[in-house]
Copies of this chain bind each other. A is one copy, B any other.
Amino acid sequence: MCQLLGMNCNVPTDICFSFEGFSARGGKTDDHSDGWGIAFFEGKGCRMFLDAQPSVASPVAEFVRSYAIHSTHVIAHIRKATQGEVALHNCHPFRRELWGQYWVFAHNGNLPNFEPENMGFYQAVGDTDSEKAFCMMLETLRSHFPHGKPDVKELYFVLQEITAVIAKVGIFNYLLSDGIHFFAYCSTKLSYIVRQAPFAAAHLIDQDMTVDFREVTTERDRVAVIATTPLTDNEVWTQIQPGELLVFQDGLPMKYAFS
């Protein structure tokens, strides 16, 4: 299986600290060493770095760890292959365009024998169950809303519906974003933390590294970090409930209920 890392914030923030601990799990503190990837939204634009090498050994990952890219929506992934060979075309996150926006997706889990039918438009380039699931989700959103992106509540309900269908097939934790909204779905395991004033120091689990957020933030900053398992050992992370779909905006999690 794999691990997920996401970040959503109210001001562009770099993910260097979290990515340092997360990428150590790609071959050093854990064995998710079949490739990795990270996507940063910058306005409507989206910058992606992918590599089939383990994140602890990849020169591209070394560059991402050392170069502070500021973004409000980030999705990262380290891979332990279940379906599909170790290759660039099977590295998450995956990206497609829908309604004139880039959509980015990464998955942790396994969907055995998953072969969606009636795929009119989006086709997987690689061999993973994950990319097929992403294509099916976009296909469903497009056919529900052919004239453009609906408001977030409408989007949420359709996403919840198609997620429930796919989650019946197997384990389906995912992160999904278009650079405006940030969706996080917990099928079995996904946690988050919201950092805001008063800030404190945080210490990584996977590296002996501490950042004192008081020194690098302003009072109005708010940052949500979402990860398969907590990245720090001196903060309280919230476990998302299995079956729960959250949508983060400006660093705050929300969910909707039919009323």
Contacts and interface: CB of A to CB of B under 8 A. Distances in A.
B87 A99 contact: no
Interface stretch (A20-28, A119-127, A193-201, A248-256): A119-127
Contact of A45 (B44, B46, B87, B97): B87
A207 to B, nearest CB: 22
Nearest to A37: B47
B99 A123 contact: yes
Interface stretch (A88-96, A107-115, A210-218, A224-232): A88-96
A43 B123 contact: no
- With most chain B CB atoms within 10 A of its CB, the pick from A49, A51, A89 is A89
Contacts of A99: 123
Contact of A91 (B45, B101, B122, B125): B45
A88 B121 CA distance: 26
Interface in A66-99: 67, 87-91, 96-97, 99
Contact of A47 (B46, B50, B121, B122): B50
Contacts of A88: 42-47
A45 B123 contact: no
A: contact size bracket: 20 to 34
A50 B43 CA distance: 14
Contact of A43 (B63, B89, B122): B89
A59 interface: yes
Contacts of A100: 123-125
A157 to B, nearest CB: 24
A49 B96 CA distance: 16
A102 interface: yes
Contacts of A43: 87-89
- With most chain B CB atoms within 10 A of its CB, the pick from A45, A102, A121, A122 is A45
Interface in A4-60: 42-52, 59-60
12 contacts: A42-B88, A42-B89, A44-B88, A44-B125, A45-B89, A46-B88, A59-B67, A60-B63, A96-B97, A97-B125, A99-B123, A100-B125
Given A45-B88, A47-B51, 11 more contacts: A42-B87, A44-B88, A44-B125, A47-B50, A48-B48, A49-B49, A97-B122, A99-B123, A100-B123, A100-B124, A100-B125
Top 5 closest A-B pairs, CB basis?
A: A45-B88, A45-B89, A100-B123, A44-B89, A42-B88
